[in-house]
Amino acid sequence: RAASPPFSEYIARTQKLEGDFRRMHSRLITHAEEVAFLDGAGRERAILDAKLESTTSWSQFYFYLQFKQGVVDQYFVKYFASMIGWPVLAFPFLATDRSAVSPAQIAARYRESDTLIQSASSSIGDLLMVYKKLQRLAGFTARVAELLEAVDTYHKDRQDSNDKAVAIAAGESNPTEISIEARKVEVGSPTGGGVRSMVAAFESKNSPGPKTRGGAPEAG
């Protein structure tokens, strides 16, 4: 486990890249009419190609690491376990005085020891492979945790916006900080021969607290 790559982080990144690629396709399907109207097919294709390139490049790297780790795991689980298990199994029979027991007893003990060592080897192999399942679970758990954090952030921002709106409506904020002001704005109406001036110098100031005041000293 200490020598293996951090597959949990790699799984989380793989899921993120694949999710971004699917999201780009969904966005394009949703806004297909706007993209066609604005002639943005080339730009959208470039974005999708870039997402596909990054996803495939990362997938190749990730699967290559999985292949190398799988070779090492299978070596230790199968070959290395057999190299240790068979001497442990055969040593008691090689060190025991075979003249004191019958061949049938030797065969029975050998068969019993063989069954035990195979069961123990299989169990140890399963224990060695547990970390791979835990890494995969940790990768998906990290993505779920990111989703929950994003949802909490959204609710917090929404609550802050609601509190700010309530404070503005109650007049608790400083009116000078949030205001809309117009000075000497000319208001006209288009006609066949040009623009007909309706207000030459319109002035207005809108703020949350006081009433709106406006004036047109030179109305036409």
Structure tokens at 187: 């208001």
Report the pLDDT value the prediction gives residue 152, as an integer from 0 to 100: 87
Report the pLDDT value the prediction gives residue 71, as an integer from 0 to 100: 82
126, 78 contact by CB (below 8 A)? no
Q: Which residues contact 72 (CB under 8 A, 6 or more apart)?
A: none
Q: Give me the residues paired with residue 188 across strands.
A: 197
180, 213 contact by CB (below 8 A)? no
Q: Give the distance from CA 28 to its chain's centroid.
A: 20
Q: For the chain, which ranges sit under pLDDT 70?
A: 1-3, 81, 85, 89-90, 92-99, 163, 165-178, 190-194, 208-220
Report the pLDDT value the prediction gives residue 220, as an integer from 0 to 100: 45
Q: Which residues contact 134 (CB under 8 A, 6 or more apart)?
A: 8
Report the pLDDT value the prediction gives residue 53, as an integer from 0 to 100: 92
